[in-house]
Structure 1
Amino acid sequence: MNRRNALKLGATALAGIYLSPLFGKSYILDATIAKNPFEPNWDSLAKYVVPDWFRDAKFGMWAHWGPQCEPEAGDWYGRGMYEEGSRQYKFHVDKYGHPSKFGFKDVINVWKADNWNPEELVNLYKDAGARYFMAMANHHDNLDLYDSKYQPEWNSTKIGPKKDIIGGWEKAARKAGLPFAVSVHAAHAWNWFDTSQGADKSGPLANIPYDGKLTKADGTGTWWEGLDPQELYAQNHELSAKPSDKSSVHSQWDWADGASLPSLAYCEKFHDRTIDLIDKYNPDLVYFDDTALPLWPVNDAGLRIAAHLYNKSLKKNKTVQTVITGKILNEQQRKAIVWDIEKGQSNSIEPLPWQTDTCIGNWHYDRSVYNNKRYKSAKTVIHTLIDVVSKNGNLMLNIPVRGDGSIDELEREIVREIGIWMKLNSKSIYGTRPWKIFGEGPQQESAGALTAQGFNEGKGKPYTAEDIRFAQKDKKLYATVMAWPEKGTAVIKSLGKSSLLYTKKIKQVRLVSTGEKLHFVQNEAALEVYFPNQKPEASYANALEII
């Protein structure tokens, strides 16, 4: 019998029997669980109710920022730099040297974050309409970006910038009055970093190992003397039966398809690091970049973290006011935590609140996106937000941060333009709930199906004035026309007299951005709304208030 089960069995006499009113099941509880309503299992976590602050906020902004932004060469740099012949490998060799001599640990060492001003950036995002802010606490590269008790050597207060990144972001968010969120990605370092165990197959350094298997003993005379690279890379283990490559690493995300399974010590360390993060910084939302919860289904660490966070919030607030997000959830799991869709959105109104996370460029800053002006436009972001809100979702938008902690002028202009639309139209966004249908029009007919954790954004046709998205609040219906009707009239078929969706007499239609009352005619087939001759600013999406 393991220690945990022995302790649980020994506490049974103290705890007694608890009958769950939600599930009609009896549970034998230990003394700790008897004090904490949420237990580390899916049935118990499914008692969770999403707090109103999250449902009302609708729009958050994210700094997906860490040492992989220092090279400014895009996503998953810490993995790609060890893939011989890849774009990032070639970039790394040219800029830093061969990964047997200059590995990812050395990239961390040159990351200084010397132009980082968290208060200025958080205020910029708040001014653009963000109602909550999220910062990355660690990525698959396994560096904790906070004062980490259980990752005491490889954290941002000890190496690299020698700053408490999460502490700085949290202070700025609290000062701005925004709920504070953290994203946690480090559960995957075990397999994600396995490319660092490799070596070139050709060339002058063929068969010379990269630095992924180095240990503390190898550091004599180096800048990292006294540090153990295995506490970062976590590669003191055999590779997967099916070694992950550019494609199979994704199929192994849920520890399947031949993945090397993490040790108990690795899982417990991840658990302890995350509990430390939660207890030190008290996040209002924790985003997990995992199938369901971290290390699920091979370990219950994620379940224990979720129960801890909910119970902590319940004790403080009398109701649970925190949010946890996870990906690729089944029906039961969607009751326990909020479903997050990466770079995509649902094609229907979801019965439970959900979130999409996306980015105006790449997740990690990529200089080529800037040079080639390939950022998403403010128009694309706003259209995504409106569509997501109509389907009971929130949008979490990442603005890529450069290695030095700043954002570039193109990004600033996009953020400014988002703010223009939000200042004019946000009453049609904040605090709303889905209507009977999410919308009408040809765009949805072309929308792509979700694949894996999402990835269907941008697959549909562009929005036109025939595309309408609905939301409701305070007995008012909001119908957003997703382009300016060039012929001057918006036609909303779902609001015709013959429609069974809206049976009340329409008394008034206002253009939200200007407050102007618009002339309209409701016939059997549709509601026809006559737009003014003068376009308001940011007229690529036009919210109408209907009462």
Structure 2
Amino acid sequence: MKRRNALKIGTLGVAGLYLSQLKARTYFFNAANQGPFLPTWDSLSKYQVPDWFRDAKFGMWAHWGPQCEPESGDWYARGMYREDSWQYNYHVKKYGHPSKFGFKDVINVWKADKWDPEELVNLYKNAGAKYFMAMANHHDNLDLWDSTYQPKWNSVKMGPKKDIIMGWERAARKANLPFAISVHAAHAWSWYEPSQRADKNGALAGVPYDGNLKAKDGKGTWWEGLDPQELYAQNHPLSEDSYDNGKIHSQWNWGNGVTPPSKEYCQKFYNRTIELIDKFNPDLLYFDDTALPLWPVSNVGLEIAAYMYNKSLERNDRLQAVITGKILDEEQRKALVWDIEKGQSNEIEPLPWQTDTCIGSWHYDRGVYRDKRYKSAKTVIHSLIDVVSKNGNLMLNIPVRGDGSIDELERAIVEEIGEWMRLNGESIYGTRPWKIFGEGPQQESAAALTAQGFNEGKGKPYTSADFRFVTKGDKLYATAMSWPETGKVLIKSLKLGSPYYRSKIKKVKLVSTGTKLKFRQTPQGLEVYFPQEKTKISYANALEIT
């Protein structure tokens, strides 16, 4: 690969050697980690997914932190340092040049003054969520609790001056919902590298952004006495091709020329995450990483996973904890719950899994609200039904404004999801996959997974010829993904002599109303005759077959 200069060649040569050596090392950060699970993939593969997670099917997420304050979308704390990006232009206009007003300053103006965690969690519970997840930190590296190991750059010491995770956790426990935490900060090391840049054009060309500031530079500023490097973590050379803004995606698994993280950085991440587990006892820990955080250059992710599993066993009579990871191989899927971002599998998975998605941007984006580009409740429900039929769960983010509220368009979507779930939830909760997940033309157009997911919304729209199947006890649920304009549907997989269903069908019921429907089983399929009047929400119609 090309190097930008001679100095970079030497630096990267050493870094590459260091990376290869680091892969072979094992860090035992927590010698007191006692229990049956050891920090190895082989030991963790003995894990079994708890029933609460398998039964829950639907969770909701507050992917909320200081990057929501500008209300300008995903990865703002990186994009604002990219001279070619719309977020940079927005930042300069709203706040000033990133050499003078960096992301540390955005954190300072974030106040979250309209945040009511109990009201939001209850809204999500009423919408049918069976577990709730809060973001504990993002790639921006600010901890959203009173963090011992990020003692000054956390939401209690600056910005809102509130313990965000404690507030969410208390609200979730009061609502009797399992509490999940998402952790993203392992990648701050490379993700923040654009903050080391400077403009190439304009009046401030060559003036460095604030990513290399030290504590001594803060004299006379609001952040006097603070060390920006505890936030930005940029005391290291740039990764190979760092100025290629897309390069980070191929370096997400700590290869392909990324500058390797220091042992001190790995240790700090470990300490912060273990503290989260000890303080808040999350039922689920979500990692935004390939496999586990900092894997394979460090064992801290394996250490954290073993610690959480052992702690769960110690607290409960059986293991109740869930940890998710992305882009997992066959062995790793036994150790963790496979998480697919903005997408879904195209088949029934042998092990439980989860898809995570959002109705807008991950971080709140005023443009999505203004242009009314949110996913509809219909799209969310169709995704949920499809995912559940394939042995998965759906985790849905509702973007939260910087002030801690959600807008009226989001609220209406959440409430409509709740209406459908109250009418049809029995066809979702506690179900298990059938012999096949479904039938119909939509699946024929489904796209393959790309990297960690990203195949949602790429197939044809669902029709009344598309069905998704699940079972619960002796009941089969077949959901028609649209109301039939002809007044009837034909379920081919339930034809006379079907290899999938050999019992005689005695009753078909429309779950949302309890109405018994007329039906006829023929060699072509099961014909089911729908009522003349559509139900209130008719875009997904669960049928109970016994």
TM-score range, shorter-chain basis?
A: over 0.9
Question: Is the 8 Å Cα contact of residues 338 and 355 (structure 1) preserved in structure 2?
Answer: yes
Tell me if 1:36 matches 2:35. Answer: yes
Matched, 1:144 2:177: no
1-structure distance, mates of 2:397, 2:239: 32
Tell me the TM-score normalized by structure 1.
Answer: 0.94
- Tell me the distance in 1 between the aligned counterparts of 2:523 and 2:415: 41
State how far apart, in whole Å, the 2-side matches of 1:93 and 1:539 are. 47
| SS in structure 1 of the partner of residue 312 of structure 2 | helix
The Cα shift of 1:474 comes to 1.6
Distance 1:481 1:213 in 2: 57
Q: Which position in structure 2 is the counterpart of 1:389?
A: 388
Q: Report if the CA contact (8 A) 2:27-2:299 is conserved.
A: no
Structure 2 partner of 1:198: 197
Partner residue in 1 for 2:519 = 520
CA distance in 2, matches of 1:286, 1:217: 37
CA distances 1:311-361 after superposition (whole Å, capped 9, x unpaired): 000011121101000000000000000000000000000000000000000
Q: Which residue of 1 aligns with 2:449?
A: 450
Distance 2:322 2:146 in 1: 23
Moved over 3 A (4+): 5-8, 30-33
> What code does the residue aligned with 2:487 have?
G
Partner of 1:104: 103
SS of 1:256's equivalent in the other structure is: coil
Find out whether 1:498 has 2:497 as its counterpart.
yes
Equivalent in the alignment of 2:3: none
Query: Contact 2:57 / 2:388 at 8 angstroms: preserved in 1?
Result: yes
Matches of 2:272 and 2:231, distance apart in 1: 13
Aligned counterpart, 1:299: 298
Q: Normalization by structure 2: what TM-score? A: 0.94
Contact preservation (8 Å) 1:244, 1:252: no
Task: Give the count of matched residue pairs.
Answer: 524
- The match for 1:212 is 211
Q: Relative contact order: is structure 1 or structure 2 higher (C-alpha 8 Å, sep ≥ 6)?
A: 2
Q: Using the TM superposition, give the Cα deviation of residue 242 of structure 1 relative to its aligned residue in structure 2, in angstroms.
A: 2.5
**Counterpart AA for 2:139:** H
* % identical aligned pairs: 74
Helix, strand or coil at the partner of 2:436: coil
Write the deviation string for residues 98-153 of structure 1: whole angstroms up to 9, x where unpaired: 00000000000000000000000000000000000000000000000011010000
* In 2: Cα distance, 1:244 partner to 1:358 partner: 29
Q: 1:128 to 1:100 in 2, by over 3 A?
A: same
Report 1:349-388 matches (<5 A): 349-388=348-387
Q: CA deviation at 1:246?
A: 2.7
Superposition deviation, residue 244 in structure 1 = 5.4
Task: Please state how far the C-alpha of 1:498 moved relative to its aligned partner.
Answer: 2.7
CA apart distance, 1:438: 0.1
Give the corresponding residue for 1:24: none
Write the distance in 2 (CA, Å) between the matches of 1:250 and 1:108. Answer: 25
One-letter amino acid of the counterpart of residue 518, structure 2: H
- One-letter code aligned to 1:336: A
Structure 1 gaps, min length 5 = 9-29
Supply the distance in 1 between the matched residues of 2:371 and 2:497 (Cα, whole angstroms).
50
Q: Match for residue 415 of structure 1?
A: 414
Question: Once the 2 structures are TM-superposed, how far is the Cα of residue 471 of structure 1 from its aligned partner?
Answer: 0.2
| Residue matched to 1:57 | 56
| C-alpha distance in 1 between matches for 2:520 and 2:117 | 50
Indicate the SS of the match to 1:340. strand
Q: Structure 1: how far apart are the matches of 2:462 and 2:246?
A: 32
Aligned to 2:223: 224
> 1:46-195 counterparts in 2 under 5 A?
46-195=45-194
Q: Which amino acid aligns with 1:416?
A: E
Query: How many angstroms apart in 2 are the aligned matches of 1:501 and 1:85?
Result: 56
Which consecutive unaligned segments of at least 5 residues does structure 2 have?
Answer: 1-21
- Residues 244, 329 of structure 1: alpha-carbon distance in 2 compared, 3 angstrom cutoff: farther
The correspondence of residues 413-492 of structure 1 with structure 2, limited to 5 A, is: 413-492=412-491
Match of 2:536 in 1: 537
Separation (CA, whole Å) in 2 of partners of 1:302 and 1:318:
25
Q: Does the residue aligned with 2:435 lie in a helix, a strand or coil?
A: coil
Is the CA contact (8 Å cut-off) linking 1:191 and 1:244 kept in structure 2? Answer: no
